[in-house]
Chain A
Amino acid sequence: MAFLTELPLLSLMWLTPAAGMLLVLLTPARQGRVMQSLAVLAALLPLLFAAFLYATFNQQQGGGAYAEHHHWIEIPLPFALSAGQAYSEAKLSFSYAVAVDGLSLPLLLAAALVTGLAVVTAVQLRKRRKAFYFWLLGLEASLIGLFMARDVLLFIVFIQAALVALYFLLGIWGNPDGERTANRLLAGAGLGSLLLLAVFLILTCTAGLRIEKAGEQLQTVYSGGYGGIARGLLAEDTSMSQEVLDMREAAVAPLSEGVRMVLFILQLIGFGLFMPLLPFHTWLMRAQAGAPTSVAMIVSGLLPAAGAYGLLRYGVFLFPEQAEKLAPAMAVIGIVQLLYGALLALRQTDMRQLLAYASLSQMGFIWLGIAAFNEIGLQGTIFQLMASSLCFALLWLVVGSLQERAKTTAISELGGLARSLPFICGIFMAAGLSLIGIPGLAGFPGILLSLLGLFDTLPWLAAAAMPGIVLTAAYMLRCLLRVIFGPIDERHTAFKDARFIEAAPMIILLAFIVLLGCFPSFLTDTVQQSITGLYSQLLAGRMGG
C-alpha cells in the first residue's frame, strides 16, 4: 500500500466519484451491467482511500499530514490602498486547499462509507438508472469534498454541487410529488447556502486579509483560505512591521464583537438549515419522507453531519467566544428539539415520517454536545455525528427493503414480519436499539459523552434531556414492535428474506456500529489530538483577551 502515499489521495477521493460520473455518462444506456459496475467501483474506491488514511493517520500529529494546496483563482482588484507612504495593490485570492485532521477524518470515513453503500443499494432501482447514478455519484463527490475543503469558496462550491445533485435526485425520483420536495430543498438549503456565501465573503474581505511583501511593494490579498481566516480572527500577529500594520488598518476595520455575533448567528441559521435546527427543519422532514432509499440514507444522517461539521469548523472554531455566549441557548434548543422530534415521532403512522422526526430528535444531542463547550462534549458531538449517520443509513436500508416487499411503509399495515423476514428484522432491531442508545452499539457513547460534557457546564439542561432518552425508546419501540412482533398478515408470509446485495451493506454498517459501540476509542483517539490542539488555542485566546 506504500504507493498510495505518493498519490494526492485527498483529491483522488472526490475525483474518483466525479470521474465515475463521467464514465456513467459515456456508457451507452443499453449496457446496464457495465454502467452499474463502473458506478459501484467509483463509489467504493473513496472508501478504500478513506480507510487507508484512517489506518495511517498519525494521532500525535493531529492532522498536518495530509494537505494539498494549489493556487486557484486570483483576481486583481481595481483599486489600490495607501497608508502613509506605503502603497499597495489589492487582489482577491481563492485557492484549492484540502486537508484532513482528526475532526474531519472520521466524518470523511462515514461519508465514503454511507455514500458508497448508497450507490450499491441503488442497484435495485429501475427508473432512469443512468441519470440516477450520475447524480448520486455527484452527491458523493461533493459531500466528500466538503469534508476536506479548507477554502471558503471551495467549501461553498461543494455545498452547491451537493444541493444541485440533491435537487435532481429528489425532483426526479422523489415520491410522491418530487418536484415540490425539490423546490422546498431550494427554499430551505438553497437559502442556507446563500447565507453562508454571504458570511464567507464577509470573512474573506475582513479576517482573510493578508499583507504580502512583493519585492519592495506591498500587496493586499483578500484570501479565502481557512488558515488565514482563522489566524485573522483568533490570533493577533505581533510580528508584523509598522508599515504592514498601517496598511492593514487602512484596508479593513477589525471585526467588532457585534459583527462577529451576527456572523455566527447567520452561520447558525445557514448550517442549521442542513442540520436541522428546530424551526428550520421542515424541508428536511419532507425530503426524507419522499426520497428514494439510497438518497434518504444520505439525507437523514450524513447531510446533517455535513452541516454540523461546517458549523463546528467555520462557526464554533472561528468564533469561540460567541459560541460560548450562545451555548445555553443552543442547549435549550437542543433539548426542545430532542423532545419535540420525539413527541412528533411518537405519533407518526408511517415509518418514513417516523425516521425523519427521529433524525430531528437525535440531532438535539448534537446541539447539546456543541453547547457543552468542552472537550468531552465536542467528542460526543463528533461521535454522535458518525454514529447517527451510520445508524440512520442502516435504518433507511431496512425501511427500503421492507417497502420494496410490502409496497407500503405504513406502520399499521405491517406486523409480525419476524416470521417471514428474520434477518431483516434482526438488523432492524439492532439499528433501532442503537438509536435508543443501548450500550455496545454506536448510539450510546455519543449520547453519554454529550451529556457528560454538558453536565459540567449546564447540569440542569443535561438532566432535562433524560425524558428525551426515554421517549426515544418509546417511539422506536412502538415502530419496531409493531412491524416485527405480533401476528403476521396473510399477504406477508411469503416474503423472501434479504438477498446478498441487500444483506452485505446491512452487515457492513452493523459491523461498524458494533465496533464503535464496543470500542469507542477507535474514534475518540483519532479525534483527540485535533480537539486538544484546538482547545488549548481557545484557552490561550481567552488568557490573552
Chain B
Amino acid sequence: MQMYAEAAFLIPLLPLAAYLILMALGRGSHTAGVWVGTGGAAASLLLSLLVWIERFRKGAVDYNDSFNWISIDRITLRIGFEVTNMSALLLVGVSLLSVLVHIYAAGYMKRDERLTVFYSYMSLFTFSLLALSLADNVLAFYLFWELASVSLFLLFGFWYAKSTARAAAKRAFIMLRLASAGLLLATLLLFWFMPEHALDFAAIHNVFEGQSGAIAKNITTLIASLLLLGAVGMAAQFPLYAWLSNAEQAPAPASALLQGAGMMTGALLLSKTTEIFQSAPAVTEAALYIGVVTAVYAAVRALMERDIKKVLIYSTISQLGVVQLSLALGAATSSMLYVLVHAICKTLLVLAAGHLLRTVGTADIGAMGGLRKHMPLAAWTFLIGGLALCGLPPLTGFWLQQSIWAEASEQHILWLAAIMLVLFLTAAYMSRMYFLIFEGKPRSAAAGIPEQGQKPSRLMSYSVVILAAIVVLSGFFQLVWGSLPEHWLDGDAAGRQGSMSLGLMLAAVAILLGGIWLGWLKNKRDASALLSNGNKLKDASAGWVADKASAIKRSFAVAGAALAAIEQAMGALPKLAAQLLYALGRLAVSFSLRSTIRGMGLAIILGLVITIIIMAAKGEW
C-alpha cells in the first residue's frame, strides 16, 4: 500500500551514496562531481515528493521501521525512521532546498579546483539532514546530528588555507560538541528512565503526555534542560550563538543550506520532544527567555552590521529565537511550518547575496549602493525574500505567524509584545539592508561599474528565480487555503479554527511598515556617514568574544601547566627506579666481568645475612 513510505529510508541513503562516490572520485573530475552530487539530491527530492504525495491518499497511516543497531542481551539500541505528515513535508523541504543549492553551487564554485570535495561535503550534510528529519528515536537523532555537525565543520573549514576559516570551523565544532554532550546525556537518562528502555519519540510522547508519573519530576526537568542545551546549541541561541556568527567563512551555497535547511534541526528536536517540555515548566520558561533575548539581541546586531553575510546570519539567529519562543509556547506545528518557510526565504536571501557578492566583489554594504539599475534580478529576488522573511502580507510568513501570535496572546501579553518588537526590528534591518545596497548613490567604484566583476553564471540565476517563485506561490497558496497545512500536519481533529483576529493583523502590518520606515531612516544616516567616513561602522562586539575566548583558553593553560608539574613529579619515581635498575645492572655486569667468584661470594654472604635475620625474627635461634 504505502510503497514509497516503506522505501523512505532510501531518501537519505541516496546523498550518502553520492558522498561515497564523490570521495572515491577525489579532486579533479569537475563535471562528474557536479552531476553526482546534484543527482543524489535530485533523486532524494523525487522520492520525497512521491512519499509526500502518497500522504494525501485516504487512509494514509504513519509508517515506522527500524533495525537493531546494537543488541546486548535483552537490551537493544535501534535505529529507525518514521514517515509522518510532518517528516514527509520536511523531506520535501530539505531535499528541494538542497537540490537548488547544489545547482547554484555548480555556478558559484565553478572555478574552485576542489569542487568535487565541496560537493561531497554538501552531500554528507544533505544526508544527515534528511536522516534527521526521518529519525524516529533520540539515539538516531543524536547520531545524525553529530554527522551534520561534522559536515558543517568540514564546510566551515572548506577554504582551509584561510586562518579565519580554520578558527570558525574549530569554534563551530567545539560549541556543537558542547551541545551534543547535552543531548548525549539526555539520551542516556532517557534510556535508563524510560519504561523498557524505549527511546523512540512515540514512546516519549506516550509517557510524558499523560504525565503519568512514570518518570520523577526532577528527572524530567533534568532531561528537559539537557535537551534544551542541545537545541540551543543547534539553533545557535544565546549563549551558544557565536559559532553561527562565523558562518560567512563557509562558501555561500554551504552557508545557504546551513542557514536554511540546517537550522531546522534545533526546532525539530524541540518539537519532537515537546511533551517533555510540557512536563517541565521551569525549563520551558528558560527556553522562552532564551528565545526572546536571542531574537531581540540578534535583530539589533543585524541592524548594526555592515557585512551583508553577517546581517543575514544575525537575522537567522534572531528568527530562530522567535521559533524557539513559539515552540516553548506550545505551537509546535506552526513553528515547524514557520521554520520551513524561513528556511526557504533565508536560502533565497543568502543565494541572492552570493550572487551579488560575485558581481560586486565585496560583501561590505558600505561599498555598495544604487545597484538596482545594474542588477534588477538580484534586487527583485532580494526584495521578495526580505519581505517574505519580515512577513508582510500577502507573503507566507504573515499568515503563518497568525497562530503563533494567537498562542502568545493567550499566554502572556509580554510574549506577544516581544514577537512584535522582533517583527519591527526585522522589518527595520531588512529595509535598511535593501536600501543601502540597491537604492541611493553608488558609494564605491566597484558598485558603480559591476560589469568588471565576474559575470554570475546562469545556473545561479535559475535557482534564485525558482526560489523566489516558490516564495511568492506559497504566499498565494496560503491566501487561498488558509490554515490547511497546519490541519493536515496536526491531523484533522487537532486543527484550531478562526485564530485570526483582524485587529492584530492590522497592528502587525502597521508595525511592519513602521519598521521599514525606521530602516529607511537608518539607511539614510548610515549612507551619509559611510560617504564621509568609510570605516565608521565597526564590529564592536568582536573584541568581546575574542576576550572571552582567550580567557577560557588561559584558564585551560593554567590548569595544563599545573598538571604538567604533577606529571613531572609523578615521572620522578619511575625515573629513579629505572636509574637504580640500570646501576644495579651495571654493578652486576662489572662484577661478573671482573671476577665471578667475588660476585658469588658476595651473594652467598648476602644470602647468609638474610637467612640469619629471618631466623632471628622468627625467634628460632
Cβ of B71 to closest chain A Cβ, rounded Å: 7
Interface stretch among A144-152, A181-189, A363-371?
Answer: A181-189
- Interchain CB contact under 8 A, B160 and A486: yes
* Residues of chain A from 353 to 382 with CB closer than 8 A to chain B in the complex: 375-376, 379
CB < 8 Å neighbour of A528 from B72, B173, B184, B188 = B72
- Interchain CB contact under 8 A, B178 and A183: no
B488 CB within 8 Å of chain A = no
With contact pairs A343-B563, A473-B177, A484-B160 given, residues A521 and B70 touching in the complex (Cβ less than 8 Å): yes
Cβ of B126 to closest chain A Cβ, rounded Å: 15
A373-394 interface bits toward B, Cβ cutoff 8 Å, 1 = contact, 0 = none: 0011001000000000000000
A474 CB within 8 Å of chain B = yes
B66-90 interface bits toward A, Cβ cutoff 8 Å, 1 = contact, 0 = none: 0011111101000000000000000
B531-571 interface bits toward A, Cβ cutoff 8 Å, 1 = contact, 0 = none: 00000000000000000000000001101110110010011
How far apart are the CA atoms of A344 and B163 in the complex, in Å? 25
CB < 8 Å neighbour of A466 from B142, B185, B192, B574 = B185
Interface stretch among B143-151, B407-415, B594-602?
Answer: B143-151
Collect the chain A residues with CB atoms within 8 Å of residue B142's CB: 439
Interface stretch among B315-323, B327-335, B384-392, B578-586?
Answer: B578-586
Cβ of B570 to closest chain A Cβ, rounded Å: 6
- Interchain CB contact under 8 A, B570 and A279: yes
- Interchain CB contact under 8 A, B581 and A186: yes
With contact pairs A282-B570, A347-B564 given, residues A451 and B188 touching in the complex (Cβ less than 8 Å): yes
B166 CB within 8 Å of chain A = yes
How far apart are the CA atoms of A445 and B75 in the complex, in Å? 15
A512 CB within 8 Å of chain B = no
CB < 8 Å neighbour of A470 from B174, B560, B580 = B174
A452 CB within 8 Å of chain B = yes
With contact pairs A187-B581, A481-B166, A524-B70 given, residues A473 and B173 touching in the complex (Cβ less than 8 Å): yes
- Interchain CB contact under 8 A, A438 and B577: no
CB-nearest residue of chain A to B559: A343
A413-453 interface bits toward B, Cβ cutoff 8 Å, 1 = contact, 0 = none: 00010110010000000000100101110001100110110
A477 CB within 8 Å of chain B = yes
- Interchain CB contact under 8 A, B579 and A183: yes
- Interchain CB contact under 8 A, B582 and A183: yes
- Interchain CB contact under 8 A, A416 and B188: no
How far apart are the CA atoms of A527 and B613 in the complex, in Å? 52
- Interchain CB contact under 8 A, A452 and B146: no
Cβ of A292 to closest chain B Cβ, rounded Å: 20
- Interchain CB contact under 8 A, A456 and B574: no
With contact pairs A438-B147, A445-B70 given, residues A481 and B577 touching in the complex (Cβ less than 8 Å): no
Collect the chain B residues with CB atoms within 8 Å of residue A466's CB: 181, 184-185
- Interchain CB contact under 8 A, A524 and B72: yes
- Interchain CB contact under 8 A, A344 and B564: yes
How far apart are the CA atoms of A456 and B157 in the complex, in Å? 39
With contact pairs A438-B146, A481-B169 given, residues A469 and B161 touching in the complex (Cβ less than 8 Å): no
Q: Which of A282, A484, A524 has the most CB of B within 10 A?
A: A282
Q: Which of B192, B557, B563, B571 has the most CB of A within 10 A?
A: B563
Collect the chain B residues with CB atoms within 8 Å of residue A410's CB: none
Cβ of B122 to closest chain A Cβ, rounded Å: 17
CB-nearest residue of chain A to B197: A452
Collect the chain A residues with CB atoms within 8 Å of residue B144's CB: 439
Collect the chain A residues with CB atoms within 8 Å of residue B563's CB: 340, 343-344
Tell me if B's interface is mostly helix, strand, loop or mixed: helix
How far apart are the CA atoms of A3 and B420 in the complex, in Å? 80
CB < 8 Å neighbour of A485 from B165, B188, B556 = B165
With contact pairs A184-B575, A455-B191 given, residues A440 and B143 touching in the complex (Cβ less than 8 Å): yes
- Interchain CB contact under 8 A, B185 and A456: no
B163-192 interface bits toward A, Cβ cutoff 8 Å, 1 = contact, 0 = none: 101100110011001100100110011011
Cβ of A533 to closest chain B Cβ, rounded Å: 11
With contact pairs A469-B177, A485-B161 given, residues A524 and B192 touching in the complex (Cβ less than 8 Å): no
Collect the chain A residues with CB atoms within 8 Å of residue B561's CB: 347
B182-214 interface bits toward A, Cβ cutoff 8 Å, 1 = contact, 0 = none: 001100110110000000000000000000000
- Interchain CB contact under 8 A, B72 and A347: no
A328 CB within 8 Å of chain B = no
A5 CB within 8 Å of chain B = no
A228 CB within 8 Å of chain B = no
How far apart are the CA atoms of A286 and B173 in the complex, in Å? 31
CB < 8 Å neighbour of A481 from B147, B157, B578 = B157
| Interface footprint category on B | 35 or more
Cβ of A381 to closest chain B Cβ, rounded Å: 12
B496 CB within 8 Å of chain A = no
A462 CB within 8 Å of chain B = yes
Collect the chain A residues with CB atoms within 8 Å of residue B189's CB: 455, 459
- Interchain CB contact under 8 A, B192 and A187: no
Collect the chain A residues with CB atoms within 8 Å of residue B178's CB: 470
A254 CB within 8 Å of chain B = no
Collect the chain A residues with CB atoms within 8 Å of residue B147's CB: 438-440
- Interchain CB contact under 8 A, B160 and A183: no
How far apart are the CA atoms of A462 and B191 in the complex, in Å? 13
Cβ of B225 to closest chain A Cβ, rounded Å: 12
Collect the chain B residues with CB atoms within 8 Å of residue A486's CB: 160-161, 163, 166
Collect the chain A residues with CB atoms within 8 Å of residue B525's CB: none
- Interchain CB contact under 8 A, A187 and B188: no
A8 CB within 8 Å of chain B = no
A459-486 interface bits toward B, Cβ cutoff 8 Å, 1 = contact, 0 = none: 1001100110110011001100100111
Cβ of B545 to closest chain A Cβ, rounded Å: 17
Cβ of A193 to closest chain B Cβ, rounded Å: 14
With contact pairs A344-B560, A463-B185, A485-B165 given, residues A477 and B174 touching in the complex (Cβ less than 8 Å): yes
Cβ of B458 to closest chain A Cβ, rounded Å: 31
How far apart are the CA atoms of A186 and B68 in the complex, in Å? 46
How far apart are the CA atoms of A487 and B161 in the complex, in Å? 5
B27 CB within 8 Å of chain A = yes
A22 CB within 8 Å of chain B = no
A271 CB within 8 Å of chain B = no
* Residues of chain B from 259 to 288 with CB closer than 8 A to chain A in the complex: none
- Interchain CB contact under 8 A, A376 and B72: yes
- Interchain CB contact under 8 A, B570 and A449: no
How far apart are the CA atoms of A375 and B70 in the complex, in Å? 13
- Interchain CB contact under 8 A, A183 and B578: yes
Cβ of B193 to closest chain A Cβ, rounded Å: 10
Q: Which of A459, A481, A520 has the most CB of B within 10 A?
A: A481
CB-nearest residue of chain A to B582: A183
- Interchain CB contact under 8 A, B578 and A186: yes
Collect the chain B residues with CB atoms within 8 Å of residue A344's CB: 560, 563-564, 567
A506-531 interface bits toward B, Cβ cutoff 8 Å, 1 = contact, 0 = none: 00000000000000110011001000
Cβ of A290 to closest chain B Cβ, rounded Å: 13
Residues of B within 8 A of A (CB): 26-27, 68-73, 75, 142-144, 146-147, 150, 157, 160-161, 163, 165-166, 169-170, 173-174, 177-178, 181, 184-185, 188-189, 191-192, 556-557, 559-561, 563-564, 567, 570-571, 574-575, 577-582
Since A188-B578, A375-B72, A418-B160 are in contact, a sample of 17 more A-B pairs with Cβ atoms closer than 8 Å, ordered by chain A residue number, is: A186-B581, A282-B570, A286-B571, A344-B560, A375-B73, A419-B161, A433-B150, A438-B146, A444-B143, A445-B70, A448-B184, A451-B188, A463-B185, A470-B174, A473-B173, A521-B69, A524-B70
Which 10 interchain pairs have the tightest Cβ spacing?
A347-B560, A187-B578, A485-B160, A187-B577, A282-B571, A439-B143, A485-B166, A183-B578, A466-B181, A473-B177
